[in-house]
Structure 1
Amino acid sequence: MSDQKQRVFSGIQPSGNLTIGNYLGALKNWVAVQQENENFFCIVDLHAITVPQDPKVLAEKIREVAAIYLAVGLDPRHCTIFRQSAVPGHTELAWLLNCVARFGELSRMTQFKDKTVRGGSDSASAGLFTYPVLMAADILLYNADLVPVGDDQRQHLELSRTIARRFNHTYGETFVVPKPMILSAGARVMGLDDPTVKMSKSAGSPGHYIAILDEPDVIRKKVRRAKTDSGSEVTATADKPAITNLLDIYSATTGRTIPELEDEYEGRGYGDLKRDLGDAVAEALAPIRTRALELLSDPAELDSLLAAGSEKAREASAPVLRDARSRMGLG
């Protein structure tokens, strides 16, 4: 067993525009470790429909995410890239696990509370409430050993671990209890217009995020308009959340340390930092954008790649689902 690669599962929703936060916090790191593990990288389209989506736009975004996965350097020889909804086992296992999860556990999920703060829980879909169980099914269906997660998903992963242990205790050893994958390099990118909230690809204001497919001049303009703090010293400190965020993005994009950047901009203003950061981000994302647009120009090829990945995912997950069904008396 020690010679076998560990299984890794992760995915991104095809809603909104994938941002530099998705790239620096997830995709870049997936690429870095893809040859070390057996990877299943999913486009989690079923999660996207927990809130209303325009069907035509959603179909386009699914292809767009697939193109970006490939453009950043994910290689189908080292990872299985597929659509969640093309593998029926995700929804079937989610129902089985819904019968194992507890209502009280789901009601304590902070993301559900955060997402329903405006409209209230009465107006939210049941899918939004049970979203964490589908996430557990996504992971457990592949007996994933490791799951790369950010801080905002740790609670959901812990629920997945709880459900796996409860199922194993009740019905016998069935699922691997997944562990969080701690990446040596990861960035928590905050909003350009509000450095107190994580950058969101679904934000209403384009000035909130840098999209991976933004044109270089658009990126430079967004960085120029990014919120700054009072004063003029370029330092990463608790009382300078906006400048700290820009330095974090700069560091994650270029590989240079925060202290190195602080030394470089000592005695210089925010304008210099923004100009150089805009150039650095535009340069880093330009080849990804070019490659993604090339891939999107041939949608049939993208669909074929996703179909092949989905077939591999179905084959890999079928024994796990069969075992879970059998242990529950549904064999």
Structure 2
Amino acid sequence: MALRQRTALLLRRTRLCAETAGYRRMTTKRRHREVVPDEEVQVFSGIQPTGIPHLGNYLGVIKMWVRLQEQYHNIMYSVVDLHAITVRQDPSELRENIFKMVACLLACGIDPEKSVLFLQSQVRQHTELCWILGCITTNARLGLLPQWKEKSKDNTKTPSVGLYTYPVLQAADILLYKSTHIPIGEDQKQHLALCEDLAISFNNKFGKVFRVPQILYSETARIKSLRHPEYKMSKSDKSPKGRIDLTDSNEDISAKIKMAVTDFTSQISYDRANRPGVTNLIDIHAACTGETPEKICETYSSLTTAEYKALLADIVISEIQPIRERILWLLSDKSHLQSVLNQGQEVASVIAEDTMKDVRRLVGFI
């Protein structure tokens, strides 16, 4: 489909979503939420360019993104570089990380013909809407959000204003495209609650523009660190042995899984409270193959933990190896990655500007 035709189709669907929402004033979030037909679903999600994603990112978020683009027609995915600079970044490293993230998303199966993939900073309306929403957000509301409270406890660093207000930018990211469904992790639930509040507040103060978005949770269990299974797998893990990156070699994947913390019981079993290490390995297995933990335990009940780790390493390698090869190939042609972002920016900007025309008029701008 030609880019102009595709943009026009997305724009018509976005306007239809807004028009069918109705204009009744309501008092609770539940009453604001709608049953949205599949053809009107507008999905938005973003990911920060913090380097190569790890296995937890892929299994918990990116695989879900790929599935959603097969299920719905209106999909917007953004590399949210404005969020990345809430903490200090090296400019050259940030640029490289943007390309790495785009390459990883494409390698994992994000299709620019099915999803609009764009760079947040290239669509100026994100920051414009953020300012307007910030003017109806209170300090008290922002101060209650968990990430700010967590970061501000660290007395060795002074958190930035950007870190304090980034949930408002996050709300702007979502509302700018009149999104109806947002795939997020549990740790972002309170930030989406702010987004809901701002959508309702703006609609009630100025007039109906935004729909109240609904959460799409991943069905995949949260993948934990291989070295510290009480914590989630993370790029900030002090030990790189605790995570598997999408560009890890087959040998590195095998070694990391072999060294994964388990316990002294040889047989595998699924028990999150008492056997978190083994349970985490089973969760990885289930996320890679689609099997249930119960089925996995039944099928491989005769294996020792060591034997199961070897089996799991082969499963993860078969999942990651083709992705790794595509990432390296894509990174060899950054002009192609830039063209994907340019195409996405063109489509996203048209939809964003259509929303902002309504917002500016209702707020009172000329």
What is the TM-score with the length of structure 2 in the denominator? 0.86
In structure 2, give the amino acid aligned to 1:188.
R
Q: 1:1-331 residue pairs with structure 2 within 5 A?
A: 2=37, 4-37=39-72, 38-119=74-155, 123-183=158-218, 185-237=219-271, 238-331=273-366
Q: How big is the shift at 1:182?
A: 3.9
Residues 185 and 217, structure 2, Cα contact 8 Å, conserved in 1: no
**Per-residue deviation, residues 32-65 of structure 1 (Å, max 9, x unmatched):** 1203320001001111111111111111110111
Contact (CA 8 Å) 1:5, 1:36: kept in 2 or not?
no
Question: Whole-Å Cα distance in 2 between the matches of residues 98 and 167 of structure 1?
Answer: 11
Deviation larger for 189-198 or 81-90: 189-198
Partner secondary structure for residue 70 of structure 2: coil
Q: Which stretches in structure 1 are left out of the alignment for 5+ residues?
A: none
Q: Contact conserved, 2:48 with 2:84, CA < 8 A, in 1?
A: yes
Q: What's the Cα RMSD here?
A: 1.6
What SS does the aligned partner of 2:322 have? helix
2-structure distance, mates of 1:124, 1:182: 29
Q: Deviations over 1:100-125 (max 9, x none)?
A: 112111111112222343336x7111
How much does 1:267 deviate?
A: 4.3
Residue 226 and residue 118 in structure 1: after superposition, are their counterparts in 2 closer, same or farther (change >3 A)?
farther
Deviation at 1:3, TM superposition (A): 7.2
State the shift of 1:282 in Å. 1.2
Change (3 A) 1:131 1:32: same
The structure number with the bigger radius of gyration is 2
Greater CA deviation, 317-326 or 229-238? 229-238
Q: Which residues of structure 2 form unaligned runs of 5+? A: 1-15, 17-36
Amino acid corresponding to residue 182 of structure 2 in structure 1: V
Take 1:166 and 1:296, find their aligned partners in 2: how far apart are those partners?
43
Count of matched residue positions in the alignment of Structure 1 and Structure 2: 329
Shift of 1:75: 1.0
Distance in structure 2 (CA, Å) of the matches to 1:311 and 1:11: 17
Within 2, Cα distance between the matches of 1:176 and 1:106? 21
Q: Distance in 2 between matches of 1:25 and 1:57?
A: 25
Alignment check: 8 A CA contact 1:17 1:201 kept? no
- Tell me, yes or no, if the aligned pair for 2:52 and 2:104 is still in contact at 8 Å: no
Instruction: Provide the rounded CA distance (Å) in 2 between the counterparts of 1:298 and 1:98.
Output: 39
Q: Once the 2 structures are TM-superposed, how far is the Cα of residue 268 of structure 1 from its aligned partner?
A: 3.0
- Deviation of 1:264 after TM superposition, in Å, equals 3.1
**SS at structure 2 position matched to 1:181:** strand
| CA–CA distance in structure 2, aligned partners of residues 58 and 311 of structure 1 | 22
**How far apart are residue 291 of structure 1 and its match?**
0.9
1:278 aligns to what SS in structure 2? helix
Task: Using the TM superposition, name which of 254-263 and 297-306 deviates more.
Answer: 254-263
